[in-house]
Amino acid sequence: MIRGIRGATTADGDNEKDILLSTESLLKEMILHNDLKAENVASVFISATRDITSVFPAKALRRFKEWKYVPVMCMQELEVPHGLPLCIRVMIHYNTSTPQSDIQHIYMKNAISLRPDLKKV
């Protein structure tokens, strides 16, 4: 069965270093807390708010050698009033028998405010 594993974080600024550092940290936590193996990942969607323009956050995933063949796509998050600025969201589609209630969704930095009920890190 394919399960969705959610995560979100914020970057400290719209520059390549901050965006990739925040995205890489989020991905590492998602992988660690869910014991993910690249060969079981169907795809990864990464969205970013409109104020992130310096780099594709997906570039951070390409730093993980074993994830070379995982399909990944970046997209722009919806712009809504009072939305969280400099926000990066990740959805990993993962083949697993883990019950949905045991999936560890990861929210970091200012993105904890999006789902405080799921706070893990």
Question: What are the residue numbers of the active site?
Answer: 6, 62, 74, 77, 89, 107, 115
Strand order in the sheet with 72-76: 72-76, 41-48, 87-95, 2-10, 106-107
Q: Are 36 and 92 in contact (CB under 8 A)?
A: yes
CA 30 to chain centre: 8
Asked whether 89 and 30 are in contact (CB, 8 A), the reply is no
